[in-house]
Chains A and B, each alone.
Chain A
Amino acid sequence: MSNELTWYMILMSSILINNIVLIRFLALCSFFGVSNEIETSIGMGMAVIFVMTLASASTWILWYALLLPLHLEYLRTAVFILVIAGLVQFVEMYMKKALKSLYNAMGIYLPLITTNCAVLAIALLNIDYNLGFVNSIIYTVGVAVGYTLAIILFAAIKERIALSTAIPMPFRGHPIGFITAALMSMAFLGFSHLFGL
């Protein structure tokens, strides 16, 4: 992925072609954990979009302004995960104090996001792909929207499955969830080579 890509190509690629959950297998814990109702999965999706964008922006600045000039590249993993964990705590405290209604909508999902591997992964990938600041923000928003899309679709299917009685006993619960995810993943594979990417 280079800088010549236009912004909508980055967006399309991160939302559909390389969907973070269904094609790249990140953030699976929360994908399976908080997808029992459409409403909670919307809340989770919004929280992910918000935190991921903040985390990407701050780690990008940290990498190019501090770690790279000081030749501390080997501290990348440690610094990024601590910054993300600290940031989530800080956002949670600030929201509780100042943005009460927003906190009520997505507050309970915020602590879950620290362990969401997608946030760290995107912070690392922004660096690995050599994206500029604006492009890395576009990429991050795209990835987070892709996550939200996948989890809402999945929750909608799961709500139907919960009513079904035709599923064989050993497959009830998580196994049928994984088979659903496999079919969704197949559908998303259909987007590959869209726009010749």
Chain B
Amino acid sequence: MSLWKDFTTGIIKENPVIVLMIGLCPTLAVSSSANDAFGMGIAATFVLIASNIIVSMVRNHTPDAIRIPIFIVIISTFVTIVDYVIHAFDMELYASLGVFIPLIVVNCIILGRAEAYAYKNNVISSTLDGIGMGLGFILIITLLGAIREIIGNGTVTIFNYQLLSLGSRYQPALVFIMPPGAFLTIAFLMAAQNKWLKK
């Protein structure tokens, strides 16, 4: 039961983005289309799960005073791997995510989970926590990307599959795929969360 809780807590109840308010920069910056948002979500989730596993494995051998630099080295290793993998397999995604791929290293979600959870718990719980938090992040960033794309461009496309289209008669509100749209959409998502999900 407690393992199930480790897994689900990150998805809605302690959703990193709209409840804990961390990891905002990449969420807002790369959510101008569902595809970029989804790609960013997957990349950050991979780093999160991998670093949670390694941090919880080495936690008994880590001196308390220098734990943060150690976390950073572990995280940046995985970020470099992700950087090179995306560069090799999806040049288009690499170009549109740009500087935000190396910036996964300063994503507060990852360092925050390493410090607050993986450093204090065993490997299995930390893995599940990583998966749950990662899913929560993917959920919000993809939702944000999809909302912005449907209003701002009239389509939702993931990996070249067009999931939804409003047709050619729809006049897209361009402002939603421009920077102000990101702030507006997240504001309404947070307000919705405040109204319906807060206990």
Contacts and interface: CB of A to CB of B under 8 A. Distances in A.
Interface of A: 22-29, 32, 74-78, 81-82, 85, 115-117, 120-121, 124-125, 128, 168-179, 181-183, 185-186, 189
A25 B29 contact: yes
Contacts of B192: 170
Contacts of B166: none
Nearest to A22: B179
Given A85-B72, A182-B187, A26 B29 contact: yes
Interface of B: 21-22, 24-25, 28-29, 68-69, 72-73, 76-77, 79-80, 83-84, 98-99, 102-103, 105-108, 111, 175, 178-184, 186-188, 190-192, 194-195
Nearest to B175: A186
A26 B187 contact: no
Nearest to A122: B99
Contacts of B191: 168, 170-171, 175
B111 A115 contact: yes
9 smallest CB-CB distances across A and B, nearest first, come from A182-B183, A178-B187, A25-B29, A78-B76, A170-B195, A170-B194, A185-B180, A175-B191, A170-B191
A182 B111 CA distance: 28
20 contacts: A24-B29, A25-B28, A28-B25, A28-B28, A77-B102, A81-B76, A124-B99, A124-B103, A171-B191, A172-B194, A174-B21, A174-B190, A175-B194, A178-B184, A179-B183, A181-B183, A185-B180, A185-B183, A189-B179, A189-B180
B135 to A, nearest CB: 22
Given A26-B29, A175-B190, A182-B187, A85 B179 contact: no
A25 B102 contact: no
Given A78-B80, A170-B194, A28 B24 contact: yes
Instruction: Classify the interface of chain A: helix, strand, loop or mixed.
Output: helix
B25 A25 contact: yes
Contact of B72 (A24, A81, A169, A179): A81
Contacts of A82: 69, 72-73, 76
Contacts of B105: 77-78, 81, 120
Contacts of B80: 74-75, 77-78
A170 B68 CA distance: 36
Nearest to A79: B76
Contacts of A117: 25, 103, 106-107
Given A81-B105, A115-B106, A125 B99 contact: yes
Contacts of A85: 68-69, 72
Contacts of A125: 99
A167 B111 CA distance: 34
Nearest to B102: A77
A29 B102 contact: no
Contacts of A75: 80
A186 B187 CA distance: 15
Nearest to B194: A170
